[in-house]
Amino acid sequence: MRPWAASAAPASLAATPARAPSVKDHAVLKDGFSNGGGVYVTGIGGDFAVPAGSGRGLVAFAVYMARNADAGRAFAAPTFGGAAMVEALPPTSFGDKAAPGVAAWLLPSPPVGAQPFAWTPGEDLTAAAVLLVALHDLHPTDPLDAAVGGAGEGAAVTRTLSTEGPARLLLGAAGLQGHDGDPATALEGASLLDTGASNAASVFNDLAYALLQKAAPSSGDHRIGCAFAVGDGLGDGWLALRGTGTVAPAPAVPAPAERGEPPEGLVAVNVSTDAGLTAAIGAWQPGQKIVLAGGTYALDRVLAGTGGEAQPFLLMAAERGTATLTGRLTLEGAYPFAHGLRCEGAVTLKGTSPILSRSWVDVDAGRYDPAVAVLQATDPLVVRCDVTGIGQGIDLRPDGDALRRPVVRRCYVHDIADGTVTNGYDGLLLGGNWAHTGLELEALVEFNLFENVSIDTEAISNKSASNVLRFNHLKGCKQLSIRHGRDCELSGNTIEGGPGLYLYGQGHLLIGNECLGGAQIFVGAGTRTWAQWAASNPGDSPDYPAATDCVLIGNQARLLVGKKQSFVATDVAATNTRIEAHKGTIAYDLHKGTVVQAATALVVPAAVRLAAADVGPDAP
């Protein structure tokens, strides 16, 4: 387990009062072999308007009779207003027209007003009726409680749905081969919303359909069903839907573990001149701390002694922010510690457990140099620092593979927005190049505010493996880019303005992130597959490994799967993306193997919002 993993456990909050979803409108779109002069159905479409209101949702039931049997039947998802709907119930029948079936999809937070609905199932159907249902008070991120359905023969069907909480809405549809001339009848206390037939020309090629609902006020088992006047091939599908307030809200943001305040009990060596600082550094002994009076101190400085966790090699200001170093400060050796300083050159962290805490780092204009360079270090920490200036912000760049478990916490990285060199001016870099793509850096980046970091195309660039970026806030920045690498986790981050989040590489998890002000999430198509990328050095070419086996859960953003770049031939599809409980529209470009589902079994963290007062040297 990573040493900081224990601080990740979220606290649970109580659920708000339950309110069940309610049906506001519905419509039927239908077609059949007998409607169009002997032409099979290959798609159904039309406009539908979702009324304005809170907790909007759209459900689409497809009641179908297929031309041929198919044991591997899997319909393509329909779209509404250009957004892909999420599968709630897979096809319940693999048979041909003698065995009708039902499939269902959900779309939380659909656009209001008349929008185009389009469904191309991917195979020939003998007849189909799409039943569209507009809802209010549908839970926006976890609407599906249960789903059941099947296919058989007879005139009636009943099913049991087991709900996990109160105030559910049971909603379902059934279909019968042929038409009996009479409307269906609701069973088990359900009410009939609509009933009819795809056409009345052929009892073999047309189907009768029914749309039903029932309230489920308490948790437990609930029966619902319907009956037709005659018996024949019969298929059905039913959903139990959660309303707003029926699921506990997102967990509280965990308080980070602290390791950045100077220990008590050290003997002060007071310094007020350059010569005195040089002498104090050279004569330092464990148990001492060097305390700088207010003023300016020149020359490059190196803290290279052998300290311990309780007796670090500590250099600190007598009063926070009053002592300024104009040269480079290097922390190396064992347990070097710099606290409360203003650094106008740059700071380099090496060695064992170096700490830079509650300090300001402002790189001189025109110097192409990371403000904070974390190189050959084990368990380095940069905490509550203010980083700005002309150049790169914080660079977690392995020198070979000698960098492990860096932590960047509660920092304010801002106004890196001017200069002559653009490539490499990231606010934060995790890994430097292809050689680091599989390096398990195990970085933890949490509770940081990045604001106006906008020279480079990337405000944050990840180029290594097994990193966690959680509860950070980007305001007015260029993109957060998982440029390559594998097995990284991004959770509870807020991206406000700018392009958003770009995802490349393998096996990443995005959970509970939120994009505002036009920012989006892009799952990238690439120039190479992940296997090709990992096996061969692309050098400095603008290669991108296509996103592979990535999981996105409970994010709130406009999402594009298979994003292609305009400046390089990204003709390798984003592959095997899994999306659960997404809030926002989903669009597609070059992708394959994408799976979308409405619900998730995981607890989704709440995205954090930070202000300047929450981070940096003077933050609590």
pLDDT value, residue 44: 96
The CATH fold assigned to 394-614 is: Pectate Lyase C-like (2.160.20)
pTM for the whole structure: 0.62
Distance CA 383, CA 409 (A): 5
DSSP 8-class letter at 252:
B
pLDDT value, residue 248: 38
Give the angle 381-387-392 at the CA atoms, nearest 5°.
95
536 Cβ neighbours under 8 A, 6+ residues apart? none
253 Cβ neighbours under 8 A, 6+ residues apart? 10, 471, 492, 605, 606, 608
pLDDT value, residue 542: 67
DSSP character string of 27-88: EEEEEETTTTTS--B--EEEEEEEPP-TT-EEEEEEEEEESS--TT--PPPPEETTEEPEEE
Instruction: Quote the longest CA-to-CA distance of the chain.
Output: 102
pLDDT value, residue 227: 94
Distance CA 121, CA 62 (A): 10
Q: What is the mean pLDDT of the chain?
A: 87
pLDDT value, residue 601: 77
pLDDT value, residue 17: 44
pLDDT value, residue 14: 33
Domain boundaries, the chain: 22-241, 254-358, 394-614
Structure-block tokens of residue 384: 């509550």
Query: What beta strand segments (E) does 137-219 contain?
Result: 144-163, 168-177, 185-187, 191-197, 207-216
Q: Which helix (H) or strand (E) holds 345?
A: none
pLDDT tens digits along 47-101: 999 987 777 899 999 999 999 999 999 999 999 999 999 999 999 999 999 999 9
3-state SS, residue 523: strand
DSSP 8-class letter at 538:
-
What pairs with residue 508 in β-bridges? none
Cβ neighbours around 542 below 10 Å, total: 10
pLDDT tens digits along 127-151: 999 999 999 888 877 899 999 999 9
74 Cβ neighbours under 8 A, 6+ residues apart? 90, 91, 122
Which class for 105: exposed (0-12), middle (13-18), buried (19 or more C-beta within 10 A)? buried
Give the angle 410-411-412 at the CA atoms, nearest 5°.
130
Residues of the chain with pLDDT under 70: 1-18, 181, 245-258, 364-369, 390, 399-401, 417-425, 537-542
DSSP character string of 437-503: TT-B---EEES-EEEEE-SSSEEEEEESBS-EEES-EEES--EEEEEE-BS-EEES-EEESSSEEEE
DSSP character string of 346-358: -EEEEEES-EEES
54 Cβ neighbours under 8 A, 6+ residues apart? 136, 137, 244
Nearest of 185, 187, 184 to residue 209 by alpha carbon = 184
Distance CA 189, CA 215 (A): 9
Strands 168-177 and 220-241, by their bridges, are antiparallel
3-state SS, residue 224: strand
Q: Dihedral of the CA atoms 462, 463, 465, 468 (nearest 10)?
A: -10
Cβ neighbours around 66 below 10 Å, total: 27
Distance CA 382, CA 387 (A): 11
Nearest of 536, 538, 508 to residue 521 by alpha carbon = 508
SS3 string, 17-43, reads CCCCCEEEEEEEEEEECCCCCCCCECC
Nearest of 457, 496, 490, 456 to residue 474 by alpha carbon = 496
pLDDT value, residue 247: 38
pLDDT value, residue 257: 46
